[in-house]
Amino acid sequence: MTATGDSPANRILKVNHAGEHGAVHIYAGQIFIARLTAPAMLAELREFKAHEEKHRALFAVALCRRSCKPCRSAFLCAAGGFVLGAFTALFGRRAIAATTVAVERVVLRHLQSQLAILKNLDAEAVGVIAAIVEDEQMHHDQSVAHLGQSTVCSKFLQTMVAGATEMVIWSGMRV
């Protein structure tokens, strides 16, 4: 069954599409600056960005099948994502990793919640959401490996990024 109108499934898919759009731009900002501050991470960042582009395309196709317009917050997700990515990349490998860990931790929690909410309501939406979980978990886990010993700075950065990510998701569900 495919949801219609402004159903919970459609809102979730719209927000997830905007979030993937933002993630593409976080990695774009990180790649832009990491050429100077963390060149050894460029291949991994490009791989992660390619995954996010694939995820964004999956959600775009699902929205198109449902005749849904993208979330109005997509532009803000892109602009904010690029700024976040570029800014955190200024501080090098650990800040890049801390940003990814924080974003993915929030995203993974939301994806699991979405799957639970939609499991008996919308099989198509569940399929699209489930298709990205493995990549998001891999981004999180690989980034944890770059963090090493947790510091006050990395904990602070993760808290701030996680809070901003929660705020973007919350507001996206309401616009």
pLDDT digits (tens, 9 = 90+) for 16-61: 999 999 999 999 999 999 999 999 999 999 999 999 999 999 999 9
This prediction has a pTM of 0.92
CA–CA dist 144, 109 (Å, integer): 16
Tokens of 29: 């900002």
Average pLDDT on 69-95 reads 93
pLDDT of residue 5: 62
Q: pLDDT tens digits for 103-151?
A: 999 999 999 999 999 999 999 999 999 999 999 999 999 999 988 887 8
Nearest to 164 by CA among 60, 67, 87: 87
Residue 104 CB burial class (10 angstroms; 0-12, 13-18, ≥19): buried
Tens of pLDDT, residues 157-173: 999 999 999 888 888 77
The mean-pLDDT minimum among 4-8, 39-43, 72-76, 140-144 falls in 4-8
Structural tokens at position 108: 């993974």
The pLDDT value given to residue 1? 43
| Plot region of 160 (φ>0 → left; ψ -120 to 50 → alpha; else → beta) | alpha
Question: Which domains occur in the chain, in start order?
Answer: 8-172 (1.20.1260.10)
**Would you say the C-alpha torsion 102, 106, 111, 116 has a positive or negative sign?**
positive
